[in-house]
Structure 1
């Protein structure tokens, strides 16, 4: 019996090591930096006898570009915020998820277990993503250049800071935060007139000669290299932590007009070749050790423990915008310093 057992073990090992088995047990992850650290990958590969192929993205626009290539979308699981998720559902690029296949969701805080109450996660009775991490997008400032802490995101437009602004290079969030400073009825659903006002104000911000970044690391480098006064922190506390690690004397505020906040989730691509392995990855990232490590290393809030937000903070969770494509087209022209065409319509 011992001999038979040994033979079975050897045969199983050979099967797992074969090229075909590896191909079938490969998980292709598309995600943001900090969401799939090397030690997590190594432990996951060992636990599930799998191989992980990891691709990083640095903006929502890049994520959309990669997943919307119908003939080239080879990813199994990806990270996406709740507002962006809607267009992936619209274009049939994401598969429904059965919560019973992600047992670690039972360890999440009540607000994240009640997925039916989170705008953007469900459609027609189906759940399309599992919450993983979240952060508000506040304002980082250099304490040496401010006698008192700023209170508004409008300080980004103060001309004395021209050339000392660090700005996230992304279309959707920049439109929403600018609309928020204009007190739009809904910064995610702009009317034609609100869109015009937002474009005009973004053009004014472009005249501030900001330095653009996409990743948290790029933002940190840009802030220090350019001796910046202000930075729009698209990654929130993650960027605060990175700058503090460099010894930068910074402060961080939630603006008085409110702050945008994102909730990043794991979703499964409808082109996945290994749904079970994708489910295992999502479940793995919700283990306490992984979620706690995420917060310790990145400064981001996880869905298993408390957050840095105060009850008095005005938080606006991201929602789908009125027109993703239009915002992207406008931003490309604003980014290049070009004026808006008067005849271009929403």
Structure 2
């Protein structure tokens, strides 16, 4: 997609080819809710005679906590790139070497050798996106390209705004809104962030993940959100539009990994290879409505995504995007303290 080269300076990994064989059995996937194409799963099941079971989670923290417990029965998970180094460091993943799989040749150069998984020893791309705001423009006619929608809510939207409770996304937005830098541990800046969030919360109606349904139903009139979610909202309700906060926004990616204690390892590897096929990657995007990191998938993508502003960052906002990464422990501890207070 058009913003991929602006997200980060990724290197190019060497590609080696291997053959994959079909294997009957099961595959247990642990993934974000409303994120997995039933059609793609059906194709995988039919091709390899594998029964797929999908269990949903709602946040990176939920997924990480669950997998840390062990004995989940899951084979595959789909963490975001800022969390993936934690999974690797803690030994939660199996080194499946996707860089040697047959379809790895299709991974776009920008995503073949990322900092969060050098050489792609553990993960393959699932989806790429941004974090911004979705707004019902029938209710609010002002500028939607600002975190002010969330943190200094306009009068028309007070009591009608939702915040997706992904801590690092919210903290990033708040830090940028007060003029700080991603991952700052400056306590002067974070005091401003804390005060901003505490003052903003009374203007919110909820802190929920279920934005597609509730924006569509009119329960929410604005929400912090991911771009693919906002695209799905607009396609169903043309008055809903996605804003790129001029104060700064993040680029992110989600990636498919195999758990260290997976019971169906060969089927999990087959799935990693399967979704690096351009047509299959496009099928996933057609459902979740995010870009992907697979070259050649554009030939199979839905026509309504080709020029969608939610997927293709407008030129005027490209310089405002930053690749999201996990902040150092000192900063994360401070963010958690603020976040815990906000939950009270």
User: Do these two structures clear the TM 0.5 threshold for a shared fold by scoring above it?
Assistant: yes
Query: Take 1:329 and 1:277, find their aligned partners in 2: how far apart are those partners?
Result: 41
Contact 1:139/1:252 (8 A) holds in 2: yes
Query: Take 2:49 and 2:180, find their aligned partners in 1: how far apart are those partners?
Result: 51
Instruction: Give the alignment partner of residue 172 of structure 1, picking from 161, 168, 172.
Output: 168
Structure 1's 274 and 326: CA in aligned 2 closer, same or farther, altered over 3 A?
A: farther
Q: Which residue of 2 aligns with 1:149?
A: 143
Instruction: Give the alignment partner of residue 302 of structure 1, picking from 292, 300, 321.
Output: 292
Deviations 1:20-39 (A, max 9, x none): x97xx322211123443223
Question: What are structure 1's unaligned runs of at least 5 residues?
Answer: 1-15, 337-346
RMSD: 2.5
Instruction: Give the alignment partner of residue 131 of structure 1, picking from 125, 129, 132.
Output: 125
Structure 1's consecutive aligned runs of 4 or more residues displaced over 6 angstroms after TM superposition are none
Query: Take 1:159 and 1:254, find their aligned partners in 2: how far apart are those partners?
Result: 17
* 1:317 lines up with 2:313 in the alignment: no
Q: Which residue of 2 aligns with 1:45?
A: 45
Deviations 1:69-112 (A, max 9, x none): 13x23221110111011221222112223134432121122211
Matches within 5 A, 1:56-135: 56-70=56-70, 72-113=71-112, 115=113, 118-122=114-118, 127-135=121-129
Q: Which residue of 1 aligns with 2:8?
A: none
How many residue pairs end up in the alignment? 303
Query: Take 2:78 and 2:89, find their aligned partners in 1: how far apart are those partners?
Result: 17
SS in structure 2 of the partner of residue 74 of structure 1: coil
SS in structure 1 of the partner of residue 207 of structure 2: strand
Contact 1:189/1:322 (8 A) holds in 2: no
Contact 1:166/1:223 (8 A) holds in 2: no
Q: Which residue of 2 aligns with 1:183?
A: 179
Instruction: Give the alignment partner of residue 239 of structure 2, picking from 214, 229, 249.
Output: 249
Contact 2:139/2:221 (8 A) holds in 1: yes
Structure 1's 100 and 334: CA in aligned 2 closer, same or farther, altered over 3 A?
A: closer
- The structure having more radius of gyration, on CA atoms, is 1
Using the TM superposition, give the Cα deviation of residue 250 of structure 1 relative to its aligned residue in structure 2, in angstroms: 1.8
In terms of mean alpha carbon deviation, does 103-112 or 243-252 score higher?
A: 243-252
Contact 1:82/1:319 (8 A) holds in 2: yes
Query: Take 1:225 and 1:37, find their aligned partners in 2: how far apart are those partners?
Result: 23
SS in structure 2 of the partner of residue 94 of structure 1: coil
SS in structure 2 of the partner of residue 55 of structure 1: strand
Q: Which residue of 2 aligns with 1:197?
A: 192
Q: Normalising by the residue count of structure 1, what TM-score does the alignment of the two structures yield?
A: 0.79
Q: Which residue of 2 aligns with 1:334?
A: 342
Using the TM superposition, give the Cα deviation of residue 183 of structure 1 relative to its aligned residue in structure 2, in angstroms: 1.9
Q: Which residue of 1 aligns with 2:223?
A: 231
Query: Take 2:240 and 2:81, find their aligned partners in 1: how far apart are those partners?
Result: 30
Contact 2:131/2:251 (8 A) holds in 1: yes
Deviations 1:19-78 (A, max 9, x none): xx97xx3222111234432232222223222222211111112111211113x2322111
Q: Normalising by the residue count of structure 2, what TM-score does the alignment of the two structures yield?
A: 0.79
SS in structure 2 of the partner of residue 67 of structure 1: helix
SS in structure 1 of the partner of residue 138 of structure 2: helix
Q: Which residue of 1 aligns with 2:273?
A: 283
